[in-house]
Amino acid sequence: MLDRIEKGLVAINRWVLIFLLLAMAIIIFSNVVLRYTTGDSIVWAEEVARHMMIWVAFLGAGLALRFGGHVAIDNLHRSVSTRTAQLLRALVLLCLALFFIFMTISSSDYVWRTRFQSTAATDIPISFVYAAMPVGFVLMLVHLLFIARGYIADGSYKESNEIDGEAAGSL
């Protein structure tokens, strides 16, 4: 049951990222074409693309974490005994989990405080854009919990036929 939830979460996360990147590319491409063919541009294109990029960064961070795409310095835990390395990785995992929880709470407060502000071109609430932060940190925490056992045991991340750690880091 947990495996199905995990696979569903990863699939939804990927498809949302694909949709956002595709929409962002179409908006920017259309804006460039219109600017050079007609001399006019879409007023809201840059703003919407920027907001989509914020969402892509926060939604993609969990997947990058899951597949080992974030920068990591692993010299220390590779040079000590297996048990010590496991303890170090458990400490790193605990620190990350606490950081993600703290950032979820802090960014939720930030979203709440900006609920009455709106964007310049589209007049949507700026809190909608900033909501990417708590959503992203919750997703990072969930992905961290899904990889916790393997990471603590042997420093491994999730495997995927479609993507590896280096490719995940380039998202």
H helices within the chain, ranges in order? 2-38, 45-66, 75-79, 82-113, 126-130, 132-154, 165-169
Of the candidates 103, 155, 113, the one whose C-alpha atom is nearest the C-alpha of residue 133 is: 103
pLDDT value, residue 1: 84
Whole-angstrom distance between the N-terminal and C-terminal Cα of the chain?
Answer: 29
Supply 13's token pair.
Answer: 């996360």
Answer whether 3's CB lies under 8 Å from 15's CB. no
pLDDT value, residue 164: 59
Amino acid at 89: R
- Under DSSP, the state recorded for 135 is H
Neighbour-count burial of 52, counting CB atoms closer than 10 A to its CB (0-12 exposed, 13-18 middle, 19+ buried) = buried
Distance from chain centroid for Cα 164: 16
Residue 95's SS3 state is helix
Answer whether 63's CB lies under 8 Å from 14's CB. yes
Residue 130: which domain range? 2-169
pLDDT in 10s for each residue of the chain, 171 residues: 888 999 999 999 999 999 999 999 999 999 999 999 999 999 999 999 999 999 999 999 999 999 888 777 777 777 888 899 899 999 999 999 999 999 999 999 999 999 999 998 899 999 999 999 999 999 999 999 999 998 888 887 777 666 655 565 555
Question: What is the total count of domains within the chain?
Answer: 1
Kindly give, in sequence order, each residue whose CB lies less than 8 Å from that of residue 9, ignoring residues fewer than 6 positions away.
142
Verdict on whether the full-model pTM lies above 0.85: yes
